Amino acid sequence: MPSEDIRQLKTRYFRYLDAKDWVGFETLFATDAVMDFRSATGQEQDETALISGAQNFTAFARDNLNAATTLHHGYMPEIETTSPTTAHGV
């Protein structure tokens, strides 16, 4: 994946998460993605901190963050070059 694609992916992650756009958020992950939060929680044996699947991870994020105000600062603009002389940005 080219570096520009990675930058765009990370930018969308922040924007979708902060906007609570759970439909968009889920599209960022492979359907068979695995999120491992065991070391982050300090509970290496806690299998509930191992989340499998984009749908399950999105549900986890939604359930834990939907009521929270989040504001990520990634300083990565989402820019699409639309022609040799024009672009669109978010």
- Which string of b and e fits 43-55 if b means at least 16 CB within 10 Å? eeeeeebebebbe
pLDDT tens, position by position, 1-40: 467 788 888 899 999 999 999 999 999 999 999 998 888 7
pLDDT tens, position by position, 46-62: 777 789 999 999 999 99
Is the per-residue pLDDT at 80 higher than 50? yes
What architecture does CATH give domain 3-66? Roll (3.10)
pTM above 0.85, yes or no: no
Kindly indicate the confidence band of residue 76, based on its pLDDT and cuts at 50, 70 and 90. Answer: confident
CA distance linking residue 63 with residue 45, whole number of Å = 22
